[in-house]
Structure formats: C-alpha cells, structure tokens
C-alpha cells in the first residue's frame, strides 16, 4: 500500500460487558483508530449504542475515534456525538438528502467529515461531495452484522476512489469495513485502502498485536 495503513478495530465486536478491556486491547495492540458503529435499528437491523458510550470510552484512550453513523436522520445526532468525543463523523449517502449541508455541519462541530456507501451504491453518487470530506468509507459487506464474508467487487470502488483522488489532487482517506481478515488480506493489499476496519477478526485473534503488524 502506498500510504501507511491505518488499522481501526471495531469496538462493536468487543465483549459489551467489558468494553474498557476492549479499548485496552486496542491500545496494547498498536492499532491506530477505534471504529465505533452506531446503529439505530432502522437503517440497519440491530441497535448498538449511543453517544453516552462514546463519552464513557473517550477517557480510556487517545486513539482516534472513528464514529460511523448507520442511522436514519443522522443530522439530529451530530452535536451529541461531536460533544462525546468523536474525531471522525461518517454519515451514509443513502440516509442524507442534503449531504453537502450535513458534511459542512460536521466540520463546524470540529470533527472530520466522512461519507459512507453500502455495496449497492456506486462511487459516482459521491462525486459532488468528495471535496468536502476527509474520509470515504466503503462498506464491503451489507452493514448490520459482524463476521460476514467480504464482497470482493466492492474493492473496485477503492481503486476508483484512489484514481479520483490522484486526478483531483485531494487528500481524503479511503477506508473499508467488512470481511477484513487474514483470508482477504491479499486482495485488500492489492486494492490498497488507507484504513482497514476489522472487528471479529481482530477481537478473535490470539495475538492482536501480531494481527496489527501483519495488516500493516
């Protein structure tokens, strides 16, 4: 990969009764970010947690908090998650009508704006907002549940985004989320995203520090 690869374990795959230990594992592994999936039971089937959890975890680490809002009407929650300590706030193209305004608001709140798309959404629908974002998150599974198999065709979107970034001279990061594990590492390296979100594979690894080293 051309840039330093950032590893962002998803706290969603940690033991919910021991979230502090999950953060400790991320700290000790040498991973770079903490990915936090917020689900509302509407845009995706499950419900996870809200801004109170982000606020509770914030004092436990200085890692970047990469907060992924898989919710309907994310505009109503931006202020709460920014106040809770999010560094990146990522919303879905599929849930926001006035995406330009939403991304501007995230930056006004002092966070880095990100935009995400599900496997069925093409990169072409992001072209108008790419100048406004610091992160583009490509879902490589249909969001909602951990442990799914990667949809390899989604990696073509990573290649397309990297090409667009070079053409436009921009600096946003390209992230992938879903099915990132030892079995998919080869194809992931070839596509060369900047950020790898890993949930089940990270927290089930016997040696999480070794997992991070391998993926870097």
Do 74 and 86 contact (CB within 8 A), yes or no?
no
* Active site positions, annotated: 37, 177
CA distances from 27 to 32, 39, 78, 192 (A): 8, 24, 26, 24
Angstrom distance (rounded) from CA 114 to CA 107: 10
pLDDT tens track, the chain, 216 positions: 457 899 999 999 999 999 999 999 999 999 999 999 999 999 999 999 999 999 999 999 999 999 999 999 999 999 999 999 999 999 999 999 999 999 999 999 999 999 999 999 999 999 999 999 999 999 999 987 777 899 999 999 999 999 999 999 999 999 999 999 999 999 999 999 999 999 999 999 999 999 999 998
Q: Which residue has the tokens 């990469």?
A: 66
Place of tokens 């590492």: 185
**174, β-bridge pairs:** 136
Q: Give the global pTM.
A: 0.95
With contact defined as beta carbons under 8 Å apart, do 186 and 204 qualify?
no
Q: What is the DSSP letter of 149?
A: P
Domain architecture of the chain: domains with CATH: 6-215 (3.20.20.70)
């Amino acid at each position: 990969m051309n840039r330093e690869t950032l590893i962002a374990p998803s706290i969603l795959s940690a033991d919910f009764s021991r979230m502090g230990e999950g953060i400790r594992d991320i700290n000790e592994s040498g991973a770079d970010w903490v990915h936090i999936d917020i689900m509302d039971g509407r845009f995706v089937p499950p419900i996870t947690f809200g801004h109170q959890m982000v606020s509770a975890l914030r004092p436990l680490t200085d890692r970047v908090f990469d907060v992924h809002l898989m919710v309907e009407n994310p505009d109503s929650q931006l202020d709460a998650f920014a106040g809770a300590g999010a560094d990146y706030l990522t919303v879905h193209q599929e849930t926001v009508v006035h995406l330009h305004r939403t991304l501007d608001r995230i930056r006004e709140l002092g966070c880095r704006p990100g935009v995400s798309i599900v496997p069925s959404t093409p990169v072409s629908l992001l072209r108008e907002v790419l100048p406004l974002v610091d992160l583009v998150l490509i879902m490589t599974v249909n969001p909602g549940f951990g442990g799914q198999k990667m949809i390899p065709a989604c990696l073509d979107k990573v290649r397309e985004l990297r090409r667009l970034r070079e053409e436009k001279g921009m600096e946003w990061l390209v992230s992938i989320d879903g099915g990132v594990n030892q079995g998919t590492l080869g194809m992931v390296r070839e596509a060369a995203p900047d950020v790898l979100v890993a949930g089940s594979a990270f927290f089930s690894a016997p040696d999480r520090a070794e997992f991070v080293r391998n993926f870097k």
